[in-house]
Amino acid sequence: MTSYPNEKLTVKNLRKSFGDNLVLEDVSLNLMENEFVSLIGASGSGKSTIFNIISGLMLPDKGQVIINGQDYTGRTGRVSYMYQKDLLLPWLKVIDNVSLPLVIRGEDKKKAREKAAGYFETFGLDGFEDKYPFQLSGGMRQRAALLRTYLFSSDIMLLDEPFAALDAITRSYMHYWLLRTLKKLNSSVLFITHDIDEAILLSDRIYILSDRPAKIKEEIEIPLSRPRNKEVTTTELFNDIKKHILEIFAN
């Protein structure tokens, strides 16, 4: 296991309800530097609400979001957030879509473009700078969205089922691409999914969420060594972890 010197993000005792509908009962979790942590839960278990609160779009009824030791509850513009939909703006070229967070932050458009262009190769997008999003494949669009996410905030990224809309082959390709790429990026990632295999393959730790109202049911360390490749998914250890998670959900 990697050692994590710094705690990047701490979420303390989140509670949130919409009207009479209690969505989050008591959710606490943390994310260390360079760590990849997944949240698994059934659809509608409030995963996206947790992300909305961490990104500052929503205020919790109770609880705190602490980033690098500072209270960021209800403040936007600190962590980056990627959705299942790529949400690339159809009227902007890929390079302008990707450099959008820099422009919003007030950087010069030309400089923002130059900065973004430097990452196109790493993200498998070189040669597509001046294309429009509709000219890209589904996998490329998600990679462009991820690059935009990364350029917004490289140290903490929230990824909300980023590969759920892709076909199985592209999704699998994206998993290994992400594993390779994250090594170069120095990012801490909080990842939402309901795909157990995906979570085990990518994560250092997994939080299992209960059904509504959401609580953390269990926290699981994934002791699979890195770098991980296709072979990992057929090992006994992988299967044992999967069996264990399936049992948690069955209860």
Partner 1 sequence: MKVKKENSNKLIPLILVLLLVAVWEAVVRGGLVPRFILPSPIDVLKVFVTTIPDMKEHILVTLQEALTGFAIAIIFSLILAMAMDRFPAVKKALYPLLIVSQTIPIIILAPLFILWFGFGMLPKIIVVVLVCFFPIIISLLEGLNSVDLDMINLLKSMGASKAQIFKIVKLPASMVGLFSGLRIAATYSIMGAVIGEWLGGDKGIGFYIVRVKHSFAVDKVFAATLVVIILSMLLFKVITIIQNLSMPWFRYVEQKK
Q: Considering only residues 91, 110, 231, 234, which one is a binding residue for partner 1 as defined by CB under 8 A?
A: 91
Q: Is 119 in the site for partner 1 (CB under 8 A)?
A: no
**Least distance from C-beta 182 to partner 1, angstroms?**
21
Which tokens in the block code for residue 107? 């950087």
Instruction: Describe the chain by its helix, strand, coil percentages, rounded to 5.
Output: 35, 25, 40
Find out whether 218 and 210 touch, Cβ atoms under 8 Å.
no
Can you tell me which of 37, 100, 147, 201 binds partner 1, judged by CB under 8 A? 100
Stretch that binds partner 1, among 28-36, 74-82, 202-210, 237-245 (CB under 8 A): 74-82
Of residues 12, 15, 85, 212, which one binds partner 1 by CB under 8 A?
85
Q: How far is the CB of 91 from partner 1 (least distance, A)?
A: 4
Which of 152, 163, 191, 207 contacts partner 1 by CB under 8 A?
152
- 4 or 132: whose CB is closer to partner 1? 132
CA angle, corner 111, sides to 148 and 57, nearest 5? 35
Per rule CB under 8 A, count of chain residues that contact partner 1? 24
Number of neighbouring beta carbons within 10 Å of residue 9:
24
Our finding on whether 101 is near partner 1 (CB under 8 A) is yes
Q: Compare residues 156 and 241 and give the one whose CB is closer to partner 1.
A: 156
Largest Cα span, the chain: 55
Which letter, b or e, does each residue of 52-75 get, where b requires 16 or more Cβ atoms within 10 Å of its Cβ?
bbbbbebebeebbbbbeeeebbee
User: Rounded to whole angstroms, how far apart are CA atoms 166 and 139?
Assistant: 7
**Using the rule CB under 8 A, is 104 a contact of partner 1?**
yes
